[in-house]
Chain A
Amino acid sequence: NAGVTQTPKFQVLKTGQSMTLQCAQDMNHEYMSWYRQDPGMGLRLIHYSVGAGITDQGEVPNGYNVSRSTTEDFPLRLLSAAPSQTSVYFCASSYYGAEGNEQFFGPGTRLTVL
């Protein structure tokens, strides 16, 4: 199993540009989430999904869209990038019945918005 994969690994955008961060998992996990990591703030939840066709907002959803058309994929869209979205983005997945709701993380995407 490849686990949770994310692309791209690095990305530089200009203010106002749009892009999609890709996330895929091959473990047949029901749950998938997006977090952003900022210095001194830990990781904060952006959006999450409990299954195909179902998404919900996390702690910091503004400026981001998600959809979940398949179990495997959970892309994160930035419609109009802003410098405040400069961050490291992590995708995570989990499965129903995971002990303690343990989550499995991808390697991250480092995004810089100029």
Chain B
Amino acid sequence: GDSVTQMEGPVTLSEEAFLTINCTYTATGYPSLFWYVQYPGEGLQLLLKATKADDKGSNKGFEATYRKETTSFHLEKGSVQVSDSAVYFCALSVAGAQKLVFGQGTRLTINP
């Protein structure tokens, strides 16, 4: 079945460090890929998405590229801020299926 595997957390970085959170997937067909973010005490917000191979999603300084050859969608940011502290979820959706399959989430803490 369809599945998403994320980098184990928690991840702790200093402000202005480079961030990578790994995400790989298994899916039938050609999924769309998402990163959602959950700030403390809040619901999930869409951070970025990519709907086909080689697409790059970007938002708020975060980027992720849909790599079909490696079935990956790694999240990157060049210089993190304290305000980026949150839980990040990688997810996929298969065409025709109105549902998301999530990874286990990665808790990120940024120290000043």
Interface residues of A (CB under 8 A from B): 31, 33, 35, 40-45, 48, 50, 58, 90, 92, 94, 99-108
How many cross-chain pairs have Cβ atoms below 8 Å apart between A and B?
A: 65
Which residues of chain A have C-beta atoms less than 8 A from B50's C-beta? 100
Majority SS at the chain B contact face? strand
Q: How large is the interface on B (under 10, 10 to 19, 20 to 34, 35 or more residues)?
A: 20 to 34
Q: What distance in Å separates the Cβ of A3 from its nearest Cβ neighbour in chain B?
A: 10
Q: Determine whether the beta carbon of B43 is less than 8 Å from that of A108.
A: yes
Interface residues of B (CB under 8 A from A): 4, 6, 32-34, 36, 42-46, 49-51, 89, 91, 93, 95, 97-100, 102-105
Known: A90-B44, A106-B43, A108-B43. A45 touches B100 (CB 8 A): yes
Which residues of chain B have C-beta atoms less than 8 A from A33's C-beta? 98-99
Known: A33-B98, A45-B99. A100 touches B34 (CB 8 A): yes
Bound CA span A93–B44, Å: 12
Nearest A-chain residue to B103, judged by Cβ: A42
Which residues of chain B have C-beta atoms less than 8 A from A43's C-beta? 44, 89, 91, 100, 102
Known: A42-B102, A42-B103. A101 touches B93 (CB 8 A): yes
Q: Determine whether the beta carbon of A100 is less than 8 Å from that of B89.
A: no
Q: Determine whether the beta carbon of A100 is less than 8 Å from that of B32.
A: yes
Q: Contact check: which of A31, A40, A108 meets B98 at CB < 8 Å?
A: A31
Q: Contact check: which of B32, B36, B45 meets A101 at CB < 8 Å?
A: B32
Q: What distance in Å separates the Cβ of B75 from its nearest Cβ neighbour in chain A?
A: 15
Bound CA span A42–B2, Å: 14
Bound CA span A100–B66, Å: 13
Bound CA span A45–B100, Å: 8
Q: What distance in Å separates the Cβ of A73 from its nearest Cβ neighbour in chain B?
A: 17
